[in-house]
Structure 1
């Protein structure tokens, strides 16, 4: 891996500042491999998950990349232009000029996860290429067929000096995180992120961390419950809740629980007539995560929490080889229950009720900061209160996760949900060094601060304070 990094860095230094044409060529090749190998991508993800709808893979792992490439290639030349900056009056008077130049960093490493393997490997790569960098990818070992395919198709389209895929287990990921990249991207959980950040710190490597968290939904009294259920449950069906932006728990006004549950069942019924052998219902990624989710259910049952289950034909979900679960909605789970402590990352949605929005805000603020917060309703005061008094990576109002689909908004966490941002122009800036460049005019103001400090010079300096 260190040899590959050295190859990329030497090529970067030898080639210098890449032209817009070169950058566009690289991101076009990213698009091309997604389009050309889309059937293989669909099949590899279905094999790794056990069941994953082709339509979902086409939308989330392929179409999203194609759209981002199309948007980025139109803007690269504009983004690359130096930006003029205002200079102080005295510097302007002697002809001084200031600007920002956007310089590529060098080599960007990316440790990507299993839930959307292609999307989360290549979306940061688009930003890195747009900024003029080289890219090294370390995909997840939990999707081995997909990761092997990724290595194969990247090798077919890119010189190793441009982009390369490194496969392997946890030991390879650990070694990868210790490499002296010019920037490192990691998508995953906060606990692993702490190890990645420690390793990067040894080489003073800046990091972008996208870490998810327990994303809350707050439903105002003015919200239409049918719309809430349709959009919340529609988002929860994506990858069976194995999505960093998926709603984790929902706050409903008192008296709205039964109406929401009824509408939620109606939404799920329109999506699925059965679950266990339904190819449209995504499996939990593996047996370990399946057992983890079953542990949440066992904990809820031990606490005698009401659990609403969507299982339209009464199937048994006890086969670890299928690693599927029915959709469950615990009602008013204890705050110290496992499902309220950990990010769920599965087909589960906790339901809580409230009387006072202030108490909801207090509850959210007492939790680690989430990647996203969602509000449904028409009350502008409630929207303002949630936006201003809570902190999250992003907010979508009257829907879920849609801010992440807007290419001109950053995908960003804050606190426990991450740091840094990418997507669109934000990705270009994240993987660039904004270099300050000042062009001196006829005279230099530096002469004002040199000794000797005579009376006249002291008066001039004193006048500036």
Structure 2
């Protein structure tokens, strides 16, 4: 396998079992794929409470609503949407036949399963990030081995226990993390690796996969910007942006990482942001607000705030008068005014309830700042002017876009999800996810008569005349 990494025997045995399972059923029909997808529905629906509780234990405090909405409900919705479409997606596609294959040849593109897919799951939405790629993987007819995050151990152990009740190990298997198992997992000779995590780890995964020439889909992060145009109501913008920034305590790869505001609107935005938090989080310790995942992350975010303050930023606590429970890693949502590029908050993805605010005068200034930095996973523009929204879309580049809101393009199952450059490569969700985990196999069915017979050697004037005619027709 890989002489550089010590690979656990259970990984090797499982991969062997999954290869055998795939070889025994290389092209599951539509009925089998629908059956597999429905089994995923049952796994999630039957064990809803246990899944929610496992994630809560892993976080220490995870909003029950956020887990139910963003992980259970959205997952089931995506599965049901795929069940309705998978038979159509499987159909061979007709393709144009060139003149030299006429008159009776046919060309088709046939989606075929690729084999065994290795999935590396992050901790921030661990249920969704198991079942969203699995939906595409099973729709395409593959098997899957899934490695959970070290911060999702309760969920990992639950899924290891549940999966055999719904699938044979040759179809689906789960593994917990710990003890350097990540590099060993991505060193396996999978047919495809699907990884969600940081750009730094994504580089390591890609390097590991390269040793086996294993294709990868990388869903990474980065600093996703938002801009509020002068025409957009500032109170509405604050409500929608703060909803995103406080959801899961900001621990979302597509969250607003920094915000551009017109210079005159900063005070009004801060006032509206405080009003939003006072209304929706009157008691930040009551369980509606999610904890930071672990102490290391909490300490990193706290240090980044201290660094920003020391370098001249103004910090605006959005829940004044409340005392977040630091022992449970509850962190106050905070605005950071006048951030500079040398601050830690502007150097890396924040992944927490902190929002730096920059001011601007022209749209060109905003686009130039964004384009001078690594490609973000998402971009958000708040404007009621369609021409301005289009200008931002065509003068910046990101993984995805939502206009006049944040995050929500990710929940549209018919839209592919994926980054570009530093924020990732490849897509999943919907039809594009089906294609990611399929081999689009080109097939030519030659007819009993072929036109190329008229151009066989020995080549003479007649053949040359025909060739010149073909070139003139295409010139």
Give the TM interval when normalised to the shorter protein. Answer: over 0.9
2: CA distance between counterparts of 1:316 and 1:67?
Answer: 34
Name the structure 1 match of 2:303: 295
Aligned-residue offset at 1:198: 0.4
Aligned-residue offset at 1:447: 3.7
The structure 2 residue matched to 1:337, chosen from 331, 336, 343, is: 343
Residues 52-451 of structure 1: pairs in structure 2 closer than 5 A: 52-92=62-102, 94-169=103-178, 171-275=180-284, 277-315=285-323, 319=326, 321-447=327-453, 450-451=456-457
Q: Deviation digits for residues 308-353 of structure 1, max 9, x if unmatched?
A: 1123434165x4x422211110012011211011100001111111
**Other structure's SS at 1:411 match:** coil
1: CA distance between counterparts of 2:454 and 2:250?
Answer: 63
Name the structure 2 match of 1:31: 41
Question: Is the contact made by 2:111 and 2:438 (CA closer than 8 Å) also made in structure 1?
Answer: yes
Name the structure 2 match of 1:13: 23
Structure 1 residues without counterparts, runs of 5 or longer = none
Change (3 A) 1:309 1:448: farther
Aligned-residue offset at 1:448: 5.3
**Other structure's SS at 2:336 match:** strand
> What is the TM-score when the length of structure 1 is the normalising length?
0.97
Question: Is the contact made by 1:273 and 1:312 (CA closer than 8 Å) also made in structure 2?
Answer: no
Q: Deviation digits for residues 26-57 of structure 1, max 9, x if unmatched?
A: 11111111111111111111111111111111
> What is the TM-score when the length of structure 2 is the normalising length?
0.95
Question: Is the contact made by 2:418 and 2:424 (CA closer than 8 Å) also made in structure 1?
Answer: yes
Question: Is the contact made by 2:100 and 2:450 (CA closer than 8 Å) also made in structure 1?
Answer: no
**Other structure's SS at 1:412 match:** coil
Q: Deviation digits for residues 68-103 of structure 1, max 9, x if unmatched?
A: 1110000111111111111124533x2111111010
Aligned-residue offset at 1:437: 0.9
- Number of aligned pairs? 461
Between stretches 147-156 and 179-188, larger displacement belongs to: 147-156
2: CA distance between counterparts of 1:216 and 1:449?
Answer: 59
Question: Is the contact made by 1:274 and 1:313 (CA closer than 8 Å) also made in structure 2?
Answer: no
Runs of 4+ in 1 over 4 A off after TM superposition: none
**Other structure's SS at 1:350 match:** strand
Name the structure 1 match of 2:3: none
Aligned-residue offset at 1:446: 4.2
Question: Is the contact made by 1:274 and 1:311 (CA closer than 8 Å) also made in structure 2?
Answer: no
Aligned-residue offset at 1:450: 4.5
Structure 2 residues without counterparts, runs of 5 or longer = 1-10
Aligned-residue offset at 1:386: 1.0
Question: Is the contact made by 1:249 and 1:352 (CA closer than 8 Å) also made in structure 2?
Answer: yes
**Other structure's SS at 1:137 match:** strand
**Other structure's SS at 1:349 match:** strand
2: CA distance between counterparts of 1:222 and 1:105?
Answer: 49
Aligned-residue offset at 1:445: 4.0
**Other structure's SS at 2:341 match:** coil
**Other structure's SS at 1:117 match:** coil
**Other structure's SS at 2:37 match:** helix
Question: Is the contact made by 1:254 and 1:354 (CA closer than 8 Å) also made in structure 2?
Answer: yes
1: CA distance between counterparts of 2:84 and 2:57?
Answer: 36
Aligned-residue offset at 1:379: 2.1
